[in-house]
Structure 1
Amino acid sequence: MVTISSCRYESDDDPVIYPEEPESTSDTIAAPKPEEYFRALSLPNSYMVQPGETITIPVIKAYAVWEQYKDILRTKLSREATLSATLLWQDRKDLVASVVLTENEIEYSEITVTLSNNSGNAVIAFKVDDIICWSWHLWVTNYVPENNINGRTYEWDNNGDGISDYIWMDRNLGAISSGIKLTYVDSLDACGLLYQWGRKEPFPGDRDLKAGFNNTIPRYYSRTIYDIDGNILEETGSIPGKGIHTTPISIDKAVHNLYKAITNPLALLMHDRKESNPYEEWFISWDTKNTDNSLWGTNIGKGVFDPCPEGWRVPSYKNRLSPWNRLDNASTPYSRLGVFPLAGVRRHIEPQIPVGSLIWAGEMAYIWSSTPMISSPEEEVDYLKPTPGFAYAYQVLSNYSSTAYIGKSNAASIRCVRE
């Protein structure tokens, strides 16, 4: 039997004996009302921050999500637990100067993060009894897309009716360059971060652009990440460690994979090929085989797990057409939607290559949409209907680009559009 303490699963087979939950002593501190939780669900999972700034992050979204998904996560966050916050990783060892948790009234606590004068990416974790129960991506950049400062945006009409359907950023999520200089370093900086479909947790991309198509060895050579003290967090492949690693979803089937995703933002959740599963799906539960097609939202709104900053979202199909429809060729150095760097992917399934390997950097990129695959792109998407574990994306090669679909367990690029 599985039970819960704080935000941790416990099992009768677990040799560790956990103490019983203490009786509540927080009667004088009222829990947020349902409408407050509802509003908190729309708070962003990532923040665009200028170098040198200080940002304050409300933690109420963590409590709202665990309340909203309690049937899947099988618990709510304890109001009696010890709270803490920490830097999980940064891709420059001097990017984050400090992380401080201010405990107000439990759910109304806040995390204050002070940044250095550098650009880059960081992930901040919120812990309840030392278990990560939510995390946020900080995109530290001088780019201000709302005002076209240090970059620009692109309007796009995907059906040719003369009405703008999308406003695109000019770079990938997490990129510190738009890639417009077309130098090797600039192109690498433009790659940004990689995401498994439906997850808010970012993963660093390849360290170079030379992986190619013929890579037949395990490749865990991602961009270096560091802890708060500047120590390198080595990527460890299929072996759990302090850095990025791959976790088979077949491990501990009693625990839902959404729980694993939230509590371990460093883990890529992928199949180990020992289980028969036709879905290429990290989220899918083993008992019902159901998925959730709305993690990143639908064609009418942004999802709870959308990784784009406030005011932006992962693009969805519109007019029953791809967000990139009418984009003739994104492989040119300067397409009508800017430069699309060949960032590669974290591959879910590839012959002779262990799952989670980095592949195709410098050769290919996929850019996610939030729209799950259906039998025909012209069909109206039913986001409540379980579908196979694929989603639509935009495939870009050095000499070709088109709409495609890939398994949701792959980690690919994102380019945000305005809400």
Structure 2
Amino acid sequence: MFDEKVTRLGTNSIKWDRYNNEDIIAMGTADMDFMSPPSVTEALISRAKVGMFAYELISDSYYNAIIDWYAQMYNWNIKKEWLSSSPGIWAGIRICIDSFTMPGDKIIVHSPTFHPIIDIIEQSGRSLVTNSLVLKDGYYSLDFEDFENKIANNVKMFILINPQNPSGRVFTNEELIRIGEICNKYKVLVISDEVHGGVVFVGHKHIPYASISEEFAKNSIVITAASKAFNLQGMTHGILIIPNKHLRNIYQTALTGYDFDFATNVFSLAAVEAAYRYGRPWLDELITYLQCNLLYLIEYFEVNIPKIKVIKPEGSYMVWLDCRELKMNEDELETFFMIKAKVALTFGSSFGKDGEGFVRINIACSRNILKEALERIKGAVNSII
């Protein structure tokens, strides 16, 4: 199923058609070159056959699919009234920033960090504070001393991304507890972006931040979606889990102003419900395939392109590559991959200063596409040695 080559050129794909060049292999944007689960397609066709696309109540069946998913996957019993939504992850984060902070307030993130988060914070008039992850022997760890020192300096919000983007770290229970203790000590609200939480590799476990304790739940909002795990990005549907009634009321008030609470996309509701209710077997097969792709990629770089180091992810299908031994600046690195190798990646400078010299590659594609891309990169590297 996942070995099938899916041609996306000419389909208005942001990932592939943005380059207007059929010679480019697109491995940057974080969506998958796999067909979504058949259960989702069937649900969308069934919904389309209704022939009426007017305002729709959010059904108990939709809510129960999410509730059951969290109970089965994470042993976390969430309540219907905790659930809200947004038109995508970024919109949900922006609404939270606007609702729970003021212009000029400080918001802290790990660095390197998912680049739209940087843009959202800065364009909302807030002040970005970064806590650099520590890279040693190919592994990123947390600098809690720096984190607390910066938090203590009047930070109002922490945006946690777990699994972390771009490193692929899946934070442990102990790490999350330490984060929560620091944030609660200084009354810093935690917004936990967990959209990649559905794709976690063997030996690791995604832990929803608010599931750890009642204290953490009261001081946090979890933002997630079925999008990354089931390739539903075009549905632009985010799910918010807000156990704290006071925070929930503030968020719901903001939604009323945007009219997002009333006009929820009917196809998004159908797709999310089908994914969570019937998509588990498909997701299990996906993770197995991605793990094989990851192993292939790691071994290929070690044997054929040792100058580029793989930061082994614990979750997600985006892999962070350390290209600093190539000794190229950011412009040279982009030219090298785009022009010489003809492989389009996401370039590290957009993830902040800590991302310079790195690139991010998407392994959610058929093995043949991955092999071809790696062979191109090998040939380009060999041509400059």
Q: Same fold (TM over 0.5)?
A: no
More relative contact order in 1 or in 2 (CA 8 Å, sep 6+)? Answer: 2
State TM-score, norm by structure 1: 0.27
Q: Give 1 or 2: higher strand fraction.
A: 1
State TM-score, norm by structure 2: 0.28
